[in-house]
Structure 1
Amino acid sequence: MITTRLEPFSLGTFSPTKYLFFTGKGGVGKTSIACAVAVGMADNGEKVLLISTDPASNLQDVFGTELDGKGKAIEGVPGLCVANLNPEEAARDYRESVIAPYRGKLPASVIANMEEQLSGSCTVEIAAFDQFSKFITDESVSRGYDHIIFDTAPTGHTLRMLQLPSAWTNFISESTHGASCLGQLAGLQDKKAMYQHAVENLADAKKTALVLVSRPEDLPLIEAERSSAELKDMGIGNQILIINGVMGEATDPISRKMFNNQQQALGNMPRGLGDFRTFAVPLRSYNVLGIARLRAFFQQDSFPPGKSKAGFIRVKAIRDLVEDLYKTKKKVIFTMGKGGVGKTTVAAVIALELANKGVRVHLTSTDPANHLQYVFRGSRNITLSKIDEKAELLKYTNEVLTKAHQTMNEEDCAYIAEDLRSPCTQEIAVFRAFAEIVDKAESEVVVIDTAPTGHTLLLLDSTLSYHREVQRTKGEIPDSVRHLLPRLRDTAQTEIVIVTLPEATPVFEAERLRGDLIRAGINNKWWVINQSLTQVQTNDSLLLARAEAEIPWINMVDKISDNNFVVIPWLQDASIQNLVDAKS
């Protein structure tokens, strides 16, 4: 295989602008890289403000100090100030400012519905943008620092919302209590000028640079290309790409397979990333926590690698989870988790194991790779279906826009069109498709990959939310959707399996997902930790050190799940059957 060589990243390899935004798929290491850049700049005598707008930020762990939204000087790094903004708190404050005028004037059920409408990811996006807009438009703040670094950039969806003319009309105020992702702008008309100034600064290549962070893996690279294109369309064209966690050598069969997988992903890098300067940061043997490791991050792997597997824990295997599902006679099984953690494969393993016990299983997934039909060829107890997210989204969007054009003017239709580009729209479209499958499978166990989020479940739970959605879209409420949520809340019928990786960000995000489920009244018992190095036989010192670093996160999942968790080893061939056969 031809090895792809990338330019090593260091502070001297690029020209930093006043404002630097780091963005990338969860778990790619953008926080580590942003922190290391900030420390390096401060060590060079520059005054640096580092700001995180990530709701699941671990900046406090990285720097080992309590942080707030105003900024704290970091001991041992003169010139560095770090702020940990909390967009969820800001979203709560904003939500109350929008709803307060209606309290005492509208029924309690309407107020409750309004609160839920403004509880989703889009509101948090706007709240985050509101917070960091002040940092890139306030001249007094700008004068105090040579560089202002943001961990987590605004999304293209957020910027489009702020640029849409109809987003600042009375239509927003009138629709705040409806199922709208733009409704959160209702109370922000007085900040329009500030937001316009912020967007102008973002588009100024002399002031702002976007740092795309990825892993040398297919999904993170695809996500980086998507984010790049969206933000480029919004005028943010000054971009560079950093590939984090690149292996430089292989010393045994396990490390050699990992190295080859990375090289294949780099060789197939999406075309949309080809125009940017691309840098590499090597895979490190340690968690990037503390000033010393941040300073070493771009230099060398100066910390001793692991040498033994002493103390590695023994855990349950996937068959223990399946046996519990079988004995408790679960009818609906969802695998939930962020993209790239392996939930599709875990869903397939569960389906195959149940089928091997004689259970009739229907397996459905939104996995773009349509390979399940070949994996299960010859299995009489499994039927397959595939939900095409793009097709479902297009179907739902066309239905909404067709009916909107019958009663609305062009400006209001533009508002609806932008609203439909939000993440919530795809959730609802896919949710309806899942509901239809579950409703038709009364005589089978249904295993579903890529479940709806807690926010979507709550949105669809409210009868009034349904009514508002029907008013806005002129759509219909399928009986299958009405029936599904009560079934999901029935612990005798349904199990939600949360899938994660043994790393900080995936575990924190999975814990947040569990909180959403609890808020929606849905029980979660089982967790799966996928692709763990603690369960493989390797002699590579770097991989052994990384295996040791996994243990705190495995222990954290152990505590959260009350010991109801499974660990799947990292496998050279992560096929369905090999995962079934894997022993802990």
Structure 2
Amino acid sequence: MKQLMIGDFVDTNYLFFTGKGGVGKTSAACATAVSLADQGKKVLIVSTDPASNLQDVFGTTLANKPAPVPGVKNLYAANLDPEEAAASYRNKIIDPYRNTLPKAALDSMEEQLSGACTVEIAAFDEFSTLLTDEDTTSEFDHILFDTAPTGHTLRLLQLPNAWSDFLETNDNGVSCLGPLAGLADKKALYQKTVEALANPERTKLVLVARPDDSTLIEAGKAAEELEEIGIRNQMLVVNGVFERSSDDQTAIQLEAMQQEALQSIPAYFGDKPTYHLPLVPYNLTGFQALRDLFDPEALEMIEEIPETEPIKLPSISEMIDDLSAKKQGVFMTMGKGGVGKTTVAAAVAAGLTDRGHRVLLTTTDPAAHVDLVMDSDSGDNLLTVSRIDPKKEVEKYKAQVLENVGEDLTEEELAYIKEDLESPCTEEIAVFRAFAETVDQAKDAFVVIDTAPTGHTLLLLDAAQSYHREVERTQGDLPESVKQLLPRLRNPEETFISLVTLPEATPVYEAGRLQEDLRRAQIEPAWWIINQSYHETGTTDPILSGRAHAERKWIREVQESYSRKTCIIPWQADKVKGLERLKTLIK
């Protein structure tokens, strides 16, 4: 796998960067845009990511129309705000009903149109309008998009063209199809966009991952989904590959861990161009830092890290002490994929049993379940581990939904329902119902759950309760366990939600959005947990100590802008397995 160079992009008009949050999509896209502009190409970079830090990277304010980027000749940028577009779209659909429907029905509609699917479809609408505007696109040699649409969104937009009629007569409730209600008149526009995406002579899809198992697997899944709908012109970029230049213990462990992960790049990418970008010892903000990303010699000129005062934050052990004093309750971890929610939940469960509490740990991670159950060294029988299999829960939930939709649907209408059930919302609803049943069984103990529902899901379920049907997808009453859990989750004396993040831009911004989402549901997170911090390891490796210094900005950001209580966990070299290893982590 060779290092990515700017010459690998020069033959392509459109570049779409995609990947999980926090893998470095924006950095890779911005570095590519600056380098192409330096070569005399006229370049436009467009972000449709609600968590985008494009403005921070360039150090300038951007609008939703292309404008020159000060400091780089030939470079233009636009920051399309999908949240704003989604709000406008939501109002457009709901306003005609404001004086005719009861408040409970309007609340249901509004919440239905407040999820991630609405935001993504609104974002797609924004960049479709831009991409198909030939007056704009013809001006540029290259147009780069920071965040490509998912396969799920593209499949939704390719469904047969009868959305409006279906939605007017459908009384089952929908999640993703709700946002499509007013888009039928743009079918031709979207078809043109999908054709542009699938054209290998003009477009390249850049799947960005980190050298770790979870993001590589995710990239493989996304790539296969997109290939199914004709988008085969793909390349993989593994960002943040570390090459150590010291015998620092953290450096040795990180290099070994990454190399192991790189051996398991999904077989799907076997015949696709695959590149890497190096782990750099600084935040990728400012034009010189972006230019250096493509310069192999730049890493050899690492500046000396200035002496700074240590940032003192509580440890996870202190957070567990705080929780232990409550005697019982529900503890949930929440955060985007890859930040370590399951490990944190398992560590908190181990810490509470160590302090003499009875604990039920409910996890969606099969590995965590097996490792904890197989580990019999606790001796006190205070910890019970139950596992929820998301795949099984989703299949059970889908079967229930399809059973309830009735036999009078056409094949096209059934296709809408089935595609709607491929939404990430489906898994969240299905798993949450299973969580609720588990929590309902636990009395006088701590229940630790390794993935909290979003505020959007809770509000959907709450709206369903008040409107006498589950507006998400099904007819009928909510399960009693869900009804009882909703008020409990809002009680800060009973439920303690922690937001887990990494000390980097995108995970912090995304956790901030999750916090806003929870606050809409009248839930205040109890703690923010900053996980996998090089700052806490005391590393002396030149690159890693640079990373540690760069983390300070985001640690301060969490402390000062987001969190009431914050704790921090050092970077861990290996997968945390077994109760004794978990207890070591929390000490």
Partner of 1:70: 65
Question: Using the alignment, how far apart are the partners of 1:205 and 1:268 within structure 2?
Answer: 27
Q: 1:460 to 1:220 in 2, by over 3 A?
A: same
Q: 1:216 to 1:179 in 2, by over 3 A?
A: same
Q: 1:164 to 1:560 in 2, by over 3 A?
A: same
**Secondary structure, aligned partner of 2:206:** strand
- Displacement, 1:535? 1.4
**9-18 or 508-517, larger mean C-alpha shift:** 9-18
> Does structure 2 retain, via aligned residues, the 8 Å contact 1:176–1:186?
no
Partner of 2:99: 104
Q: Is 1:368 aligned to 2:363, yes or no?
A: no
Question: Using the alignment, how far apart are the partners of 2:250 and 2:330 within structure 1?
Answer: 36
Letter in 1 for 2:21: G
Partner of 1:93: 88
Question: Using the alignment, how far apart are the partners of 1:404 and 1:20 within structure 2?
Answer: 41
Question: Using the alignment, how far apart are the partners of 2:393 and 2:377 within structure 1?
Answer: 26
Q: Is 1:164 aligned to 2:159, yes or no?
A: yes
> Does structure 1 retain, via aligned residues, the 8 Å contact 2:241–2:277?
yes
- Displacement, 1:467? 3.5
Partner of 2:130: 135
Q: 1:416 to 1:39 in 2, by over 3 A?
A: same
Partner of 1:280: 276
Could you list the per-position Cα deviations for residues 356-409 of structure 1 after superposition, in whole angstroms to 9, with x for gaps in the alignment? Answer: 111110001111323221346534100010110011001101121233353423
TM-score, L = length of structure 1: 0.95
Residues 156-555 of structure 1 mapped to structure 2, 5 A cutoff: 156-165=151-160, 167-175=162-170, 178-251=173-246, 252-299=248-295, 300-301=298-299, 304-307=302-305, 310-369=308-367, 370-375=370-375, 377-378=377-378, 379-404=380-405, 406-463=407-464, 467-469=468-470, 473-474=474-475, 476-555=477-556
> Does structure 2 retain, via aligned residues, the 8 Å contact 1:497–1:528?
yes
Letter in 2 for 1:372: L
Q: Is 1:18 aligned to 2:13, yes or no?
A: yes
Q: Is 1:58 aligned to 2:53, yes or no?
A: yes
Question: Using the alignment, how far apart are the partners of 2:57 and 2:171 within structure 1?
Answer: 39
Letter in 1 for 2:424: P
Q: 1:53 to 1:310 in 2, by over 3 A?
A: same
Decide which of 558, 564, 584 is 1:581's aligned counterpart: 584
Q: 1:462 to 1:198 in 2, by over 3 A?
A: same
Question: Using the alignment, how far apart are the partners of 1:117 and 1:176 within structure 2?
Answer: 14
Residues 137-152 of structure 1 mapped to structure 2, 5 A cutoff: 137-152=132-147
Could you list the per-position Cα deviations for residues 293-318 of structure 1 after superposition, in whole angstroms to 9, with x for gaps in the alignment? Answer: 11111102265344576422222111
Q: 1:16 to 1:373 in 2, by over 3 A?
A: farther
Question: Using the alignment, how far apart are the partners of 2:197 and 2:48 within structure 1?
Answer: 16
**Secondary structure, aligned partner of 1:524:** coil
Q: 1:289 to 1:307 in 2, by over 3 A?
A: closer
Unaligned runs of 5+ in 2: none
- Displacement, 1:556? 1.5
**191-200 or 382-391, larger mean C-alpha shift:** 191-200
**405-414 or 67-76, larger mean C-alpha shift:** 405-414
> Does structure 1 retain, via aligned residues, the 8 Å contact 2:107–2:463?
no
- Displacement, 1:83? 0.3
Q: 1:311 to 1:368 in 2, by over 3 A?
A: same
Q: 1:46 to 1:195 in 2, by over 3 A?
A: same
> Does structure 2 retain, via aligned residues, the 8 Å contact 1:175–1:183?
no
Could you list the per-position Cα deviations for residues 266-299 of structure 1 after superposition, in whole angstroms to 9, with x for gaps in the alignment? Answer: 0011112222110111110110001111111110
Letter in 1 for 2:584: D
Q: 1:159 to 1:470 in 2, by over 3 A?
A: closer
Q: Is 1:153 aligned to 2:151, yes or no?
A: no
Q: 1:216 to 1:470 in 2, by over 3 A?
A: closer
Q: 1:48 to 1:131 in 2, by over 3 A?
A: same
Letter in 1 for 2:374: Y
Question: Using the alignment, how far apart are the partners of 2:407 and 2:256 within structure 1?
Answer: 55
Letter in 1 for 2:262: L
Partner of 1:41: 36
Letter in 1 for 2:357: V
> Does structure 1 retain, via aligned residues, the 8 Å contact 2:26–2:146?
yes
**472-481 or 423-432, larger mean C-alpha shift:** 472-481
Letter in 2 for 1:312: P
Question: Using the alignment, how far apart are the partners of 1:284 and 1:566 within structure 2?
Answer: 26
**Secondary structure, aligned partner of 1:105:** coil
Letter in 2 for 1:275: D
RMSD between superposed Cα atoms in Å = 2.0
Letter in 1 for 2:66: G
> Does structure 2 retain, via aligned residues, the 8 Å contact 1:501–1:529?
yes
Could you list the per-position Cα deviations for residues 169-202 of structure 1 after superposition, in whole angstroms to 9, with x for gaps in the alignment? Answer: 5002444993432121111122111111111111
Question: Using the alignment, how far apart are the partners of 1:225 and 1:154 within structure 2?
Answer: 15
- Displacement, 1:47? 0.9
Q: Percent identity over the alignment?
A: 53
Question: Using the alignment, how far apart are the partners of 2:306 and 2:132 within structure 1?
Answer: 52
Question: Using the alignment, how far apart are the partners of 2:226 and 2:564 within structure 1?
Answer: 42
Q: 1:477 to 1:59 in 2, by over 3 A?
A: same
- Displacement, 1:342? 1.0
Could you list the per-position Cα deviations for residues 439-493 of structure 1 after superposition, in whole angstroms to 9, with x for gaps in the alignment? Answer: 1112321000011111101100114676443795345521001011100001111
> Does structure 2 retain, via aligned residues, the 8 Å contact 1:435–1:484?
yes
Matched residue pairs, number? 579
TM-score, L = length of structure 2: 0.95
> Does structure 1 retain, via aligned residues, the 8 Å contact 2:55–2:62?
yes
**Secondary structure, aligned partner of 1:181:** coil
**Secondary structure, aligned partner of 1:358:** coil
Unaligned runs of 5+ in 1: 1-5
Question: Using the alignment, how far apart are the partners of 1:449 and 1:375 within structure 2?
Answer: 19
**Secondary structure, aligned partner of 2:138:** helix
- Displacement, 1:134? 1.3
Letter in 2 for 1:220: T
Question: Using the alignment, how far apart are the partners of 2:97 and 2:471 within structure 1?
Answer: 22
Question: Using the alignment, how far apart are the partners of 1:168 and 1:112 within structure 2?
Answer: 22
Letter in 2 for 1:116: E
**Secondary structure, aligned partner of 1:462:** helix
Q: 1:9 to 1:412 in 2, by over 3 A?
A: same
> Does structure 2 retain, via aligned residues, the 8 Å contact 1:499–1:527?
yes
Question: Using the alignment, how far apart are the partners of 2:252 and 2:109 within structure 1?
Answer: 54
**491-500 or 107-116, larger mean C-alpha shift:** 107-116
